[in-house]
Amino acid sequence: MTGLPPDSPIDIRALVLYDAHKSKTVENSYKNYEKLCEVLRKEAMPNEEYEFYFNQYLKEANFPTKNEERDPPVTDIRYCILSDVINGKSVDGSYTELCESFGSIEIDKSDHGYWYQRYKDKRHPSTPPEFSNLPYDVVEKIVEECDLFSIVNLRKVSHSLKNVIEHSKPPCADIRIECLEDWVSLHCDKEVTSVFSGPNAEDEYSELCNHDDNVKKIFDALKLAFHNPKLRLNSLDVQTFNYCGEKISRPKKKNERNQKMFNYLFNSLNHKIHVEHCLISSKTTEDAITVLKSLKPGVLEKLSLCGSNKVSNIDRLVEMEQWKQAEHLVITREVPTSIEYFGHFKTFVIEFRFFTADYLVELVDLVSNSSKFESCTIIITPRIYEETIKEVLNLQRNAFPEIYSIPNSNLVLEFMHETNYFRDLANKIKITVQVK
């Protein structure tokens, strides 16, 4: 025998059999069910799901198996009474029709009258008030005021509350994740709501910190947020590279587990995350690709790639839609000198190794033909003599020191000196569209 839908406050079987007795079609029965859900301030199940239960209950009622009684058990007719109140049926008419519909059960007339009047007066709920009985929009507002870790705990309170949480927008706009070999941490928004999991300099803290529990808590919170399609992030900052360079000895199994959980988190998503600015500080380009492919193309406006190693597999990066549709790029790690990869960006900041004056000519040709280009900053290693750059590009003096016009274009070039040393050598230049 088909059971009742999980988490449904309404006895759907009773409602279906009552509507069928009144010769209602499945479409009209669903409309009746929607009215009930609206009054109860509950989310209605989809039409297709309701139709499944409607057909199953009628089939079991009309064609019972040998092990089933002719009339399936009805546990609660109160919402049938509420349906009559909503539809304007009189108390006597409601009682008579219910008795005809459920002839196998005895309906006490005084009990029926009590519930009918209770619903009609709209003074009492049918069940004791609970947190999950609050209107959906009210619970949604409460959820929005909670931090991510509180929500992970709240969803364990009840199935209905879990349903509300999973359909509400996660309460965070900026997320920062550090997933290192010896350390995992999570920060949500500017109010640092974080759980740290890793060794601490103080032995007393280390004894209190349960590494396994905290790692699970962090990834449970991230999974809850990332799997919710309503998540809207202004920024996502992911760090898998240890800038401190310190590595505290831990069992290899735990070190590998952090990386596996990180990969699973991003690879298990069935939708793309809404992120406007993503900063990835990774020890490998593979980590950057893992994160980048989980982001929604077109929404991602700015991409920042940091770390100590050079960018490998750049051919894979530049073929991703996330790269192609982003407008702003910052790379503070060594990249191959492939100018053509950056022509579609409005702005970009890049560090090139073995950059020559000829590459600079190629870069100027590329950006001067772009309708979207606004500015770029190039960090050059090793340095190039400024006079060489001036000669190759035929730079023309501008009204401002260190700024030169580039002939046959609307561009200007600025030599950016960070110190007074090596002022005849250029290691950082900025090219900008000249505002007229």
The domain locations on the chain are 12-127, 169-329, 337-436
CA distance 10 to 102: 17
Q: What is the mean pLDDT of residues 377-399?
A: 86
Q: Does the pLDDT of residue 436 top 50, yes or no?
A: no
Write the pLDDT tens digit of every residue in 297-332. Answer: 999 999 999 876 666 777 888 899 999 999 999 988
User: What is the fold of 337-436?
Assistant: Double Stranded RNA Binding Domain (3.30.160)
Report residue 255: phi and psi, to 5°.
-60, -45
Whether 341 and 367 have beta carbons less than 8 Å apart is answered as no
Residue with tokens 């089933």: 68
Going by their DSSP bridges, the two strands 411-415 and 403-405 should be labelled as antiparallel
**Confidence (pLDDT) at 199:** 52
Whether 55 and 26 have beta carbons less than 8 Å apart is answered as yes
Bigger pLDDT: 133 or 186?
186
Stretch (H or E) spanning 215: helix 211-226
pLDDT band, residue 373 (cuts 50/70/90): very high
**Confidence (pLDDT) at 136:** 66
Q: How does DSSP classify residue 1?
A: -
pLDDT band, residue 11 (cuts 50/70/90): confident
**Confidence (pLDDT) at 406:** 93
Helix (H, G, I), strand (E, B) or coil at 188: strand
For 134-172, b/e burial (b = at least 16 CB within 10 A) is: beeeebeeebeebebbebbebbeeeebbebbbeebebbb
CA distance 135 to 204: 46
Which among 359, 362, 357, 361 is positioned nearest to 426, based on CA atoms?
357
CA distance 59 to 56: 5
Write the pLDDT tens digit of every residue in 212-232. Answer: 677 888 888 899 999 999 999
Which among 280, 278, 367, 401 is positioned nearest to 332, based on CA atoms?
280
Q: What is the chain's length?
A: 436
**Confidence (pLDDT) at 348:** 94
Which among 165, 159, 130, 162 is positioned nearest to 145, based on CA atoms?
165
pLDDT band, residue 68 (cuts 50/70/90): low
Q: What percent of the chain has pLDDT over 70?
A: 78
Stretch (H or E) spanning 205: helix 203-208
CA distances from 420 to 351, 402, 416, 424, 426 (A): 21, 13, 11, 10, 12
Which among 153, 76, 57 is positioned nearest to 115, based on CA atoms?
76
pLDDT band, residue 209 (cuts 50/70/90): very low
Whether 150 and 172 have beta carbons less than 8 Å apart is answered as no
pLDDT band, residue 75 (cuts 50/70/90): low
Write the pLDDT tens digit of every residue in 172-193. Answer: 899 999 888 777 888 888 655 5
Indicate the pTM of the whole model.
0.64
Extract the runs of DSSP E, i.e. beta strands, from 243-385: 274-281, 302-306, 328-335, 347-353, 375-385
Q: How does DSSP classify residue 374?
A: -
